[in-house]
Amino acid sequence: MAEESKKHIGRIFHVDDNKLILEDVAENLADDDIYKVVLTARSVREALSYIPARLKELDVNFALLDGELPDGSGAEVAEAIRKSELGIIVASLSGKLRLPTWGDINIDKTDGPEGYLTALDETLRPNNQS
């Protein structure tokens, strides 16, 4: 799995307690040559267990983090990722009227997978070119 993901520009760690959202994003990226969800977690505790070893092993460079999780906040995961000094770009996801400000980029969950991809393109693609 780690070798396969090396060809992708965006190797994504997606954290969300909603299994359907995790599946929907992964499905939308299944045939994508640029982005791939390489690791998922459904809680802060699970996410923290992957930092830093598993993220480094999978060469993750982008984290898509839900703001509200059953056992805490995506902000806690973002803080741990930053402390790991792996250079991972953090995106906060929120369905609230006011987006959180703890992400390198902040995405409205209501934009759905297409909105996530737009944010990925704007952030990861060099000079925003195809």
Provide the CATH number for the domain around residue 36: 3.40.50.2300
How confident is the model at residue 30, as a pLDDT?
86
**Mean pLDDT, range 50-68, rounded to an integer:** 96
- Express each pLDDT in 1-20 by its tens digit: 444 445 677 899 999 999 99
Examine residue 35 and state whether it is found in any structural domain, yes or no.
yes
How confident is the model at residue 46, as a pLDDT?
98
Examine residue 127 and state whether it is found in any structural domain, yes or no.
no
- What is the overall mean pLDDT for the chain? 86
Examine residue 128 and state whether it is found in any structural domain, yes or no.
no
- Express each pLDDT in 87-114 by its tens digit: 999 999 887 656 667 899 888 888 887 7
Adjacent-strand bridge partners of 13: 39, 63
Q: Measured between alpha carbons, how far is residue 121 from residues 38, 112, 130 in Å?
A: 17, 15, 9
